[in-house]
Amino acid sequence: MLLLVGLATVVAAVPVAVVAQAATTPTASFAKVSEWSSGWEGRYTITNGGSTAITSWRVEFDLPAGTTLGSYWNATLTSSGQRHTFGNLSWNGRIAPGASVTFGFIGSGSGAPNGCRLNGQPCTGGTAPTPTPTVSPTGVPPTVPPGGRTPVAANGQLRVCGRQLCNAAGKAIQLRGMSTHGLQWYASCATPASLDVLAREWQADVLRISMYIQEGGYETDPRRFTDLVHNYIELATARGMYAIVDWHMLTPGDPNHNLERARTFFAEIADRHRAKNNVIYEIANEPNGVAWSAVKSYADQIIPVIRTRDSDAVVLVGTPDWSSLGASGSGGGADVIAANPVNATNVMYVFHFYAALHDDYYLNTVSAAADRLPLFVTEFGTQDYSGDGPNNFTMAQRYLDLFASRKISWVNWNFSDDFRSGAVFTTGTCAAGAFGGTARLKEAGVWIRDRIRTPDDF
């Protein structure tokens, strides 16, 4: 996505409202924000009620026998028996006076934290009164879509079979979902609350985690952005969605410019999440200005970094000319790729389009390419390539009809409240935290929500 946004950097991956406290010292309060028959999602809010900034934090507590921890986010974790200690990450250790940060985790069993201490002192209320959790009548998590099974529970580990994306049973499937905007600008739009809406109300199968490399992204603070991606993978996992880790390289267009950065990043991501069955790796968003041979060289070096750690995950490789399969420049993309494919299995090739600009020539390009290559559409809009301007829903629907007939998975750009027409929410939605329903959706948001919500054939 060719999009430069001059907005203030978002500091926290999961912003929440500051909790008013009477105390003048730091406190940590716990809430079960949702419960189901076998477990719950818990959240700690650390509030600095003092007059000086906190530079780091550590929350430790016990869980009763029979209660265990699963995935977690916005913190580090060390455990010894039933004693669990969460610590800050590089980007959320400092808490200004009057401010708050949160971290969360999934618990299994009926128990709750006790004996809480914050930086060695009592948490001042520890397990304070909590909001009434939302419990489904069937006893399943509220983030599970109607029908009772999440996309990941229904399909398991994905693989490429022939030219199709297939589930663990070998059935060709189509995933549909949304991409975040750049995490450096719009992390506040991808929160536990908004992802609950995306998973349950929109019934999305997949979340694309869009991490820019330049444009104020990864290269400015690799630790912070890597931690953000870790957290979003955990949030998607807790909601039963697939997670596409998008290495959003754009300018410069040669992916080899970021080769060493990519090695470092994907090694850590794959090492941390190797046991999950919902992670998909998109290793080069939109190569441009270079031939397929340069993209292939990059892919042939990065994919082994992933494979030595996560041997069976699907890998997505960008294609020439902004992932247009060559249609936006050199042409002949599918033929060139098919004649000299990436030296790996379980690989799919990426196509992007913007319906107000990309007409029949592009549609015919992807249709012909689908006869030769396994394809995944990781980004598209109903506007022009800037993500702005009038919507062309008619052309966009022609693309989606083709993808449905060929079971080509797709992800829409973008799940934010950017002022451009391609952002699904109206400006100010993310700060308000009002994500449900259609009242705060733009025209493109209503359109794409309806299409994600159509029943899956899993």
How far apart are the two ends of the chain, measured CA to CA in Å? 30
Question: How confident is the prediction for the chain on average, in pLDDT?
Answer: 88
Q: What is the pLDDT of residue 331?
A: 67
Residue 115 dihedral angles phi and psi, to the nearest 5°: 65, 35
For the segment 351-368, the average pLDDT, to the nearest whole number, is: 96
Catalytic (active site) residue 35: no
Q: What is the pLDDT of residues 299-326, one digit of tens each?
A: 999 999 999 999 999 999 999 999 999 9
Pick the catalytic residue: 35, 219, 379, 443? Answer: 379
Q: Quote the strand ranges of 256-357, DSSP E.
A: 279-282, 315-317, 347-354
User: SS in 3 state form for 224-238?
Assistant: HHHHHHHHHHHHHHH
Tell me the pLDDT band of 134, cut-offs 50, 70 and 90. Answer: very low
Does residue 226 have a pLDDT over 90? yes
pTM of the model as a whole: 0.75
For the segment 102-121, the average pLDDT, to the nearest whole number, is: 90
Pick the catalytic residue: 41, 268, 286, 443? Answer: 286
Does residue 249 have a pLDDT over 80? yes
Contact assessment for residue 333 and residue 339, using Cβ atoms and an 8 Å cutoff: no
Catalytic (active site) residue 286: yes
Does residue 56 have a pLDDT over 60? yes
Q: What is the pLDDT of residue 117?
A: 92
Contact assessment for residue 367 and residue 402, using Cβ atoms and an 8 Å cutoff: yes
For the segment 362-378, the average pLDDT, to the nearest whole number, is: 97
Domain ranges of the chain: 27-122, 151-452
The mean-pLDDT minimum among 53-57, 138-142, 170-174, 325-329 falls in 138-142
Beta bridge partners of 316: 282, 348
Question: Domain spanning 151-452 has what CATH number?
Answer: 3.20.20.80
Q: What is the pLDDT of residues 228-238, one digit of tens each?
A: 999 999 999 99
CATH architecture of structural domain 27-122: Sandwich (2.60)
Q: What is the pLDDT of residues 12-48, one digit of tens each?
A: 333 333 333 334 679 999 999 877 767 888 999 999 9
Does residue 382 have a pLDDT over 60? yes
Q: What is the pLDDT of residue 391?
A: 97
Q: What is the pLDDT of residue 276?
A: 95
Residue 324 makes CB contacts below 8 A (sequence gap 6+) with 333, 351, 352, 353, 358, 362, 365
DSSP strand pairing (58-62 vs 83-87): antiparallel
Does residue 129 have a pLDDT over 50? no
Give the DSSP H/E element, type plus range, for residue 369. helix 360-369
Residue-wise DSSP of 406-456: HT--EEEE--S--SSTTSSBPTTHHHHT--SSSTTB-HHHHHHHHHHSSPP
Beta bridge partners of 177: 206, 411
